Amino acid sequence: MITGKNYIGHTLSATGQKTYRTFNPLLNIDNEHVFTEASEDEINKAVALASEAFKTFRTVSGKRKAEFLNAIADEILALDDELIQVYCSETGLPEGRAKGERGRTVFQLRSFAELVAEGSWVEASIDTAVPDRTPAPKPDLRKMNIPLGPVVVFGASNFPLAYSTAGGDTAAALAAGCPVIVKSHPMHAGTGELVASAIIKAAEQTGMPNGVFSNLNSSGIEVGVQLVEHPDVKAVGFTGSIRGGRALLDLAARREEPIPVFAEMGSINPVVILPEALKTRGEALAKTYAGSITLGTGQFCTNPGLILGIKGEALQHFIQHLGKEIIQLEPSVMLHPNIIGAYEQNKQKAVSQSNVDVVVDYADTVQTNFARQVITAVEGNTFLNNPTLHQEVFGPFSMVVQCEDITQLEAVIAQLEGQLTGTLIAEASEANQYPSLIETLQNRVGRLIYNGVPTGVEVCPSMVHGGPYPASTDSRFTAVGINSIKRWVRPFSYQDWPNDLLPDELKNGNPLGISRLINGEYSTQNL
């Protein structure tokens, strides 16, 4: 049941004055429930509880953390239809998408449960002492990853489940042993509260400390700012706009004790179509890309916002077909009037630049909050000389850049800001002819895709969802998959520490049976 209150640890609380409602973009009306923004006092309590909880949660065994994460997954599923209905009413997204995203969320939680139950993720490493080494004895050194402390997670507007309250950031942080305070996204506060209730139930069932999780409502930046500035918060996870992520990164850097901010932000995801592919399957590619550009009303961070090819008949043909295909698709609703407002504004800004051709702009009347898809085209020189055209237009929008030749195409890629993905569309015969272009593309992105579409982010250990700034604030980490746990830990060494005082992961007897690097060789044996 939705109460509109905050979870301050295990307790529901609403002492603040500011209230707000979520919005149903499909019906164009406010939803029923009223949410109370967290007060300064509640924020401080949530952080104090998280700091206290960290003292015990940081040493909870992997097996018990796994029970907690699996219980969260079970409780989310137990919310059943209520969760799905609230999700749909707060996003306008269809039931199928809600269920798919719930499945992904549950899968992520269970993947982290499996990871920490097995235990080798801590990357234990042991270098035994050599007391008679000359000229100086070598000490015994043992290293493993340990949790950072309380983490603040900012939920994403476009993934109310998989990248929000119990999404990837939260699951990874809890798995690492970090208490989590979620700054709930105002557009889906009801979905957030229901999921938070599942996490609290799971925490109580599995005996996790009060404060291991809190959920704070907010409809403005104040709550987030106070959280990031709080001295007892030790790291931040964020998914959203470049402006928001950058503001939080700067805020965290200005603290007396700066902390890491792992923000996954905007991206236009360049797609390079090589000449032979364009010639042999331009029409089929146009159809595929019309679908990818409009998927989820273009509200994916991996949306293909930029398509690059070499000028000529084949590219012209592709552009025309892309326009023809995309215009046949029914426009769909965006998540919120603010998102569609930003889409209209950014689209307008892009199309009003000099020498931008509008290939198609869906002209028929659409329902309120529905987005009209747009395809534009520019010459390579125009793109190179106008940085405004490099900016993300979050929605069903894409720009085709007609380059003079491969050299200019490579120059366009080299000039791009950091991106989440880069896609290469090529015939087998030509793929190996452009090593320099591929290297340039690799240098700008976190993931390369061959003959596919960038939309669709598989959750698995080999996925990298991140990239050079501003795709993310730290390209060394992924925000998706089990390796994202590494954002919430730091390496820690014990020197000459007595065996019985060491954590189980580093004890001589290897009681957890995990894989460890012992004197340079991986082993699951004891010492």
Q: Point out the residues that are catalytic.
A: 264, 301
How far apart (Å, rounded) are the C-alpha atoms in residues 315 and 312? 6
Smallest gap from Cβ 392 to ligand NAP, in A, equals 6
Among 8, 79, 194, 248, binds ligand NAP (CB under 6 A): 248
Rg (C-alpha) for the chain, rounded Å, is 25
Candidates 22-30, 197-205, 260-268, 436-444; binding stretch for ligand NAP (CB under 6 A): 260-268
Smallest gap from Cβ 239 to ligand NAP, in A, equals 6
Smallest gap from Cβ 124 to ligand NAP, in A, equals 35
How far apart (Å, rounded) are the C-alpha atoms in residues 483 and 214? 24
Residue (247 or 480) nearer to ligand NAP, CB: 247
Of 512, 19, 487, 13, whose CA–CA distance to 214 is shortest?
A: 13
How many residues bind ligand NAP (CB under 6 A)? The answer is 26
If one asks whether residue 468 binds ligand NAP (CB under 6 A), the answer comes out as: no
Instruction: Tell me whether strands 374-379 and 357-361 are parallel, antiparallel or unpaired.
Output: antiparallel
Q: Find all residues with CB under 8 Å of 81, minimum gap 6, and list them.
A: none
Instruction: Tell me whether strands 213-216 and 180-183 are parallel, antiparallel or unpaired.
Output: parallel
Q: In the window 169-188, what residues touch ligand NAP (CB under 6 A)?
A: 183, 185-186
How far apart (Å, rounded) are the C-alpha atoms in residues 515 and 122? 9
Residue (336 or 516) nearer to ligand NAP, CB: 336
Smallest gap from Cβ 347 to ligand NAP, in A, equals 11
Q: Are 411 and 385 in contact (CB under 8 A)?
A: no
Q: Are 513 and 520 in contact (CB under 8 A)?
A: no
Among 240, 270, 418, 470, binds ligand NAP (CB under 6 A): 240
Residue (224 or 380) nearer to ligand NAP, CB: 224
Q: In the window 336-365, what residues touch ligand NAP (CB under 6 A)?
A: 339, 342
Q: What is residue 454's three-state secondary structure? A: coil
Residue that has been written with the tokens 């995990």 in this structure? 514
If one asks whether residue 157 binds ligand NAP (CB under 6 A), the answer comes out as: yes
Residue (41 or 250) nearer to ligand NAP, CB: 250
How far apart (Å, rounded) are the C-alpha atoms in residues 494 and 221? 41
Token output for 207:
């005996």
Per-position b or e across 251-264, b if 16+ CB within 10 A of its CB? bbeeeeeebbbbbb
Smallest gap from Cβ 48 to ligand NAP, in A, equals 21
If one asks whether residue 457 binds ligand NAP (CB under 6 A), the answer comes out as: no
Residue (175 or 261) nearer to ligand NAP, CB: 261
Q: In the window 189-228, what residues touch ligand NAP (CB under 6 A)?
A: 218-221, 224-225
How far apart (Å, rounded) are the C-alpha atoms in residues 228 and 404? 47
CB burial class (10 A; 0-12, 13-18, 19+) of residue 162? buried
Candidates 43-51, 238-246, 352-360, 400-408; binding stretch for ligand NAP (CB under 6 A): 238-246
What sign results for the dihedral spanned by CA atoms 299, 301, 304, 308? Answer: positive
Smallest gap from Cβ 299 to ligand NAP, in A, equals 7
How far apart (Å, rounded) are the C-alpha atoms in residues 475 and 498? 37
Binding mask 378-397 for ligand NAP (x = CB under 6 A): ----------------x---
Of 449, 92, 95, whose CA–CA distance to 292 is shortest?
A: 449
Among 22, 24, 158, 402, binds ligand NAP (CB under 6 A): 158
If one asks whether residue 241 binds ligand NAP (CB under 6 A), the answer comes out as: yes
Residue (122 or 223) nearer to ligand NAP, CB: 223
Smallest gap from Cβ 219 to ligand NAP, in A, equals 5
CB burial class (10 A; 0-12, 13-18, 19+) of residue 74? middle
How far apart (Å, rounded) are the C-alpha atoms in residues 347 and 392? 9
Q: In the window 6-65, what residues touch ligand NAP (CB under 6 A)?
A: none
Whole-angstrom CA distances from 479 to 80, 94, 172, 472 are 27, 25, 9, 9
How far apart (Å, rounded) are the C-alpha atoms in residues 349 and 100? 34
Residue (206 or 419) nearer to ligand NAP, CB: 419
Among 57, 154, 213, 370, binds ligand NAP (CB under 6 A): 154
Smallest gap from Cβ 141 to ligand NAP, in A, equals 41
Residue (265 or 360) nearer to ligand NAP, CB: 265
Q: In the window 266-305, what residues touch ligand NAP (CB under 6 A)?
A: 266-267, 301
Smallest gap from Cβ 523 to ligand NAP, in A, equals 41
List, edge to edge, every strand of the sheet that includes 261-264: 11-13, 6-8, 213-216, 180-183, 151-154, 235-239, 261-264
Residue (158 or 455) nearer to ligand NAP, CB: 158
If one asks whether residue 244 binds ligand NAP (CB under 6 A), the answer comes out as: yes
Binding site for ligand NAP (CB under 6 A): 154, 156-158, 183, 185-186, 218-221, 224-225, 239-241, 244, 247-248, 265-267, 301, 339, 342, 394
